Structure 1
């Protein structure tokens, strides 16, 4: 079936000397993987390797056979041209990290337009802003609402956040978030990016909170693997 759909690049892996295997989050069918034969050696085709940087927003004309095999792309064009996301060191580090988080978090081959719109709008916002320090934290918190494990804040004044149960608790049972990281975490709940960028945190607290969020994802998603780019992100943020 020939499908024309918006898509966001999640990853691109070199295959052989001339080809790429790319994973896209499509508006029409969720996560799909494609074989781009000869794209690394071709300069004249409609499908060019430059389109497949992490989080690039595209429109693709693709052949979806939906048989669990790699699909193919006939045509591709940009739908949103980033100004700074892939050239600014901080933003590109965030983009690489979050694209890896999306690869391990998004598994479904089914339409989810609300999630697609959230991801698309989020990275357009990041491209337009100068205050990026809290973006990845806010994004990961908001993403949990689409993945089915947004924190239950019924008892938000409790002293701990139970990572396994996803609730605030008064005493220790499982792995928890606590201290300065917990206080910062509470501020990110139910706030948008404009509000999140005003939250003040030291580097140590931001790192602690990020590590707790990654552990939270790990406890709630099957086959979750910690992103390799996490170390790079933490180095960039000092």
Structure 2
């Protein structure tokens, strides 16, 4: 089956001396894995390593067997070329973190146009803006909605937020109920979007603590979800 689609690079892993295994999240087919043979040694090949930097947006032509195995990539070209995402140190750290989150959170080999367009828009926004300290937090909250467990924004005046249920509650019902400062921060983020998220003023310590809570939320709702290895670096940068 020949597929023409937009796609976003989720991961790229060296295999052997010359090959690359890449995970792409495509508009038409969801998450797919491709083996690019010889790409690390050939200078005259069809593909360039630079095309498969994390979160790069591509236009691809692929041959899919739809059997859960490695697929064949026939052609790829970069679209919506980034200006700062892979050159700005802060944004590069965000890119590594977000790519790890997506690799752990998205597993479906099926189309989800709403999710794809969210990712496309979010990464383009990040590329064009400089005030990004809260981006990964806003991104995780928005992403949870496309994955089916966005925090319920009803009854936000309640004194507890239940991470297990994703709801605000009047009493503490389990060990996963959040209160205090992290609850106030959650309320604040539920009332903003990417363009005004910097109105939520956080210290490095507050941001790191709230992020730990968000990642726990992901662990509770996605089986096998793993905390990104880049978390430590990210927290150090935003401290």
TM-score band w.r.t. shorter chain: over 0.9
Q: Which runs of 5+ in 2 are unaligned?
A: none
Deviates more, 1:169-178 or 1:203-212: 169-178
The aligned counterpart of 1:28 is 28
2:9·2:23 contact (CA, 8 Å) conserved in 1?
yes
Give the 3-state SS of the residue equivalent to 2:76 in structure 1.
strand
**Unaligned segments of structure 1, at least 5 residues:** none
Q: Distance in 2 between matches of 1:94 and 1:113?
A: 23
1:2 CA displacement: 1.4
1:102-121 equivalences under 5 Å are 102-121=102-121
Q: Please show how residues 160-199 of structure 1 align to structure 2 within 5 Å.
A: 160-174=160-174, 175-199=176-200
Establish whether residue 220 from structure 1 lines up as the match of residue 229 from structure 2.
no
Q: Distance in 2 between matches of 1:202 and 1:192?
A: 19
Q: Deviations over 1:184-205 (max 9, x none)?
A: 1111115320121221111111
Aligned partner of 2:50 in structure 1 is 50
- The aligned residue for residue 63 of structure 1 is 63
**Partner Cα separation in structure 1 for residue 177 and residue 44 of structure 2:** 54
Specify the SS of the correspondent of 1:83.
coil
Question: Where has structure 1 moved over 3 Å in runs of 4 or more?
Answer: none
Distance (whole Å) between structure 2 residues aligned to residue 54 and residue 198 of structure 1:
28
Confirm or deny: 8 A CA contact 1:47 1:74 kept in the other structure: no
1:157 Cα deviation after fit: 0.8
CA–CA distance in 2 between the matches of 1:81 and 1:152? 35
Q: Distance in 1 between matches of 2:59 and 2:10?
A: 14
CA contact (8 A) 2:11 2:99 kept: yes
Specify the alignment match of 2:201 in structure 1.
Answer: 200
CA RMSD of aligned residues (A): 1.0
Structure 1 window deviating more from structure 2 (175-184 vs 228-237): it is 175-184
Higher alpha-carbon deviation: 127-136 or 162-171: 162-171
